[in-house]
Amino acid sequence: MTRGDRWYDIDAWTVRERGLDLERLPQSESVFALSNGHVGWRGNLDEGEPHGLPGSYLNGVHELHPLPYAEAGYGYPESGQTVIDVTNGKVIRLLVDDEPFDLRYGRLVHHERTLDLRRGVLTRICEWTSPAGSTVRVRSTRLVSLTQRAVAAVAYEVEPVDRRTRVVVQSELVSNESLPGPDGDPRAARALRSPLEHEEDFAQGGRLRLVHRTRHSGLRVAVAADHVVDGPGRTVTDSESDVDTARLTVTSVLEPGERLRVEKFVAHGWSGVRSRPAMSDQVEAALAAAAHSGWQGLLDEQRDHLDAFWSRADVEVDGDEEIQQAVRFALFHVLQAGACAERRAIPAKGLTGSGYDGHAFWDTEVFVLPLLICTVPQAAAEALRWRQSTLPVARERAAQLGLRGAAFPWRTVQGPEGSAYWPAGTAAFHVNAGIADAVVRYVQATGDERFERDTGVELLVETARLWRSLGHHDDRGVFHIDGVTGPDEYSAVADDNTYTNLMARANLLAAADVCKRHPDRAAGLDVDEEESASWRDAAEAVHLPYNEELGVHEQHAGFTRHQRWDFAGTRADHYPLMLNFPYFDLYRKQVIKQADLVLAMHTRADWFEERHDEEQIARNFAYYEPLTVRDSSLSACVQAVMAARTGHLDLAYAYTAEAALMDLADLEHNTRDGLHIASLAGAWTALVAGFGGMRWDDDGLRFAPRLPPGLRRLAFAIGHRDRCLHVEITSERTTYRLRSGPPLTLRHHGKELTVGVDAPAEGRVPVPAPRRSPEQPPHRRPPAALTKRSDDSRPCTVCASDRPGLALPMIPAYPSFPRCRAHGVHDGKRHEPAAAKDGR
């Protein structure tokens, strides 16, 4: 994809698709997905077909399936969990003079879909001529309510263009839809056929209802719909239902200039304990609330909710319109993933697709929650309360593994471990420290003492107990954590992974501190002074491997002694490596799937900055860059932060673009399975923590801003301790303004500043010290790493801009990078994108 052949118009507040490419439907269905964290609707066409992947999801609704093993072993999970497609309430079929409105036939005159990021709606305008020559215009608007968690709605209008036309609209609820077969990608969902068993169907007037129960997980799902029909006097309706379908049929004859409008309100509910009558009553009540608001009321509520969100979360990027659009797209989808999750997981794909079987990973706490903590803190708190609700299962898992405390799962829908591959699942204990870290960061940012007492203490204590029992002191008193897998999934079952050890260290200290602040709560968990002291002892003695000869921290003990991967002998089409080489070979070589030691320098910046100078941090970054192939979407944002931190601003800019455009440009060619929610959150991290240099800890907020040459201005708002702080950065100066709350003291490049509502503060932006740019593996270089900024003022071939320094001579690897920072390829040269890469 190039800017000259872009899929979506670039606009600051919308994502608009002009025309319709059926081959790209799976990808656009993810991009145009609507959700509120409880209900998720993929962006399927209104009529249901054609589709890439039909998708209607309820957070937590899943089916169980056995996990096959060639050789089973003690402690292996016995059952897997897969998110299922629940009853689809989106479907509105249309017949035009007895011919189905199907875009695969007839002539498509016009088709446009727009995701409005400020209104929170998906709109569609379509003009179509049937094979028999009847032309109709269809308009639809769809929303999933951010204020009424059970409710989604569609307004659907049809009008004839040039002659009298008979139209039939069929508004349906459909269960057990046919799903596409497996495509061989191990990250795609396991297709479960007809997982819903019928319990109730109902159709009367404009009211429809279906109730089903999953076969194995025993979850009851209820979906109901009501309608408001507005058409000419000769409009008639009829309704019917059976085991998997409930349908309202609306028939009318329309003259040119007349319209038939159907407003459809859909309510969703599920439970593992409520009875069938109770579930029917639940969705009927949700419909009553939606009817009370009405269509316009739902629109107004949605806009008001988003206005409030953007006032405290917006990021403004001057100088790159595509990044501006992408970061707002990212913020919108992260909000959708967590807004109404209410003690449910935030899956890796949100509710936009079934990729990874709908599982939540460590992504949530390490990548998504930092954004939510600063923008929608109540959503972050609910995600952590969900983790707390799964503690009984996590304690059982730890006991099964011979450990104390709680062992949270590598991947799960509702709590039990769902990974059948233990080196990357069970051994990835760092997920536990990620949860603890999110607890600490949430309390630091909000000051929510009630949350700390009711939720934080228990999570911190049980994860600390895990680390104390997992690790051991050697005969010199050094504390080691052996046989674990860190964030980099190309290294497994290693000793003393630096990221894991540093995160465990912070977890142990935080648990000791919180028990001191809440002694009665600690006593209720049987924590005594001896146990708390043992956590501190282990934390202070934890081993952090370092290669003195190279002068770098090791990713894990002995990593730098491994043979380097043969990058020169690896073809571009052999990436991602995990799909082309055995893990055994990857595990024993110096090759990194995703940032690991570099991630440690980001998440534990306090430890590195207290003990090491800038040169040590830069040396670490430079060592691991040539080894990191980014076969995971989680890597680019972390590398962006640390590239900015070490003064490689153009490199940071390229990585930021990669994280931000992961799904809009489908860079990994698997957006069809759902959006990469962590990478989207990472786009915010790259801008705010990277170019904004923002960090927070017990000492408050710190900023070390610096912009790449391609950006003129960066501005963002964050919440911190009942305040709303606005930060505006240019190449020379940063201005801090407090929009609400008491005065705030922060640090700007180490200098203390105090800002009040009527007293902004400013600080100069220093120029970073020049350093040699680090190398990247062949075929895996980010776009700008292959270029130098051009002094050439030859005009761009698209807009004839001759602004010096804005054009880039070659952008061979990135399919959507600018000519003149606005139009892609300079001086007429078009370059093909590098080979596709996959991975989370």
**Cβ-contact 438, 681 below 8 angstroms:** no
Could you write out the three-class secondary structure of 330-361?
Answer: HHHHHHHHHCCCCCCCCCCCCCCCCHHHHCEC
Distances (CA, A) of 73 to 42, 397, 420: 38, 15, 11
Give the CA radius of gyration of the chain: 27
What would the two tokens of residue 770 be? 């020049």
Query: Going by DSSP bridges, is the β-strand pair 744-748/733-740 parallel, antiparallel, or unpaired?
Result: unpaired
Rounded Cα distance between 628 and 594, Å, is: 6
**Cβ-contact 253, 177 below 8 angstroms:** no
- Three-state DSSP state, 819: coil
| Residue corresponding to tokens 């040039």 | 162
How would DSSP label each residue in 191-255? P-SS-EEEEEEEEETTEEEEEEEESSS--EEEEEEEEEEE--TT-EEEEEE-SSEEEEEEEEEE-
Known catalytic residue at 489: yes
Torsion, Cα 143 147 152 153, to 10 degrees, reads -60
Rounded Cα distance between 324 and 329, Å, is: 9
Rounded Cα distance between 363 and 345, Å, is: 11
Torsion, Cα 526 527 529 533, to 10 degrees, reads 150
Strand partners, 66: 79
Could you write out the three-class secondary structure of 648-665?
Answer: CHHHHHHHHHHHHCCCCC
Rounded Cα distance between 19 and 2, Å, is: 17
Instruction: Tell me which residue of 715, 682, 747, 707 sits closest to 313, measured CA to CA.
Output: 715
| Residue corresponding to tokens 């509520």 | 301
- Selecting among 157, 172, 458, 489, the annotated active-site residue is 489
**Cβ-contact 434, 708 below 8 angstroms:** no
* Chain CA centroid to CA 537, Å: 37
| Residue corresponding to tokens 């990620």 | 434
Q: Is 504 exposed, middle or buried (0-12, 13-18, 19+ CB in 10 A)?
A: buried
Q: What is the DSSP letter of 404?
A: S
Rounded Cα distance between 220 and 218, Å, is: 7
**Cβ-contact 10, 321 below 8 angstroms:** yes
- Three-state DSSP state, 377: helix
Distances (CA, A) of 330 to 9, 324, 678: 16, 10, 9
Active-site positions? 489
